Amino acid sequence: MSGTSIENDGQGMIVNPKPKSENQDWDGDDADRADRLRFEEEQAMIREQSEARAAKAAAEAKKAADAAGGASKKEARA
């Protein structure tokens, strides 16, 4: 039998080069503020896209209604 163990060969282990005291995640640090800002920007972009889609759908519905209304007026005249 060899001196190495297949079950504990070190592969797949998480290596953290920083000591635990230096690697603590503090609430309110710069990374958290950046995450919040990025999230707010993404939400604003999604809201703008939703409003644009709704406005486009309303314009298309109005255009279709106007076209249908124009067609029925022509039929009424004939």
Tell me the three state secondary structure of residue 37. Answer: helix
Q: Is residue 69 part of a domain?
A: yes
For residue 33, give both structure tokens.
């503020």
Most confident of 8-12, 46-50, 63-67, 72-76: 46-50
Confidence of residue 20 (pLDDT cuts 50, 70, 90): low
Q: How many domains does the chain have?
A: 1
The CA–CA distances, whole Å, from 33 to 29, 37, 46 equal 6, 6, 20
Q: Is residue 37 part of a domain?
A: yes
Phi, psi (deg, nearest 5) at residue 24? -85, 140
Task: Say whether pLDDT at 66 is over 70.
Answer: yes
Could you tell me which residue, 27 or 50, shows the higher pLDDT?
50
Alpha-carbon gap, residue 77 to 36, rounded angstroms: 61
Q: Is residue 21 part of a domain?
A: no
Domain of residue 58, residue span: 28-77
CB 16 within 8 Å of CB 23: yes
pTM above 0.95, yes or no: no
Task: Say whether pLDDT at 11 is over 90.
Answer: no
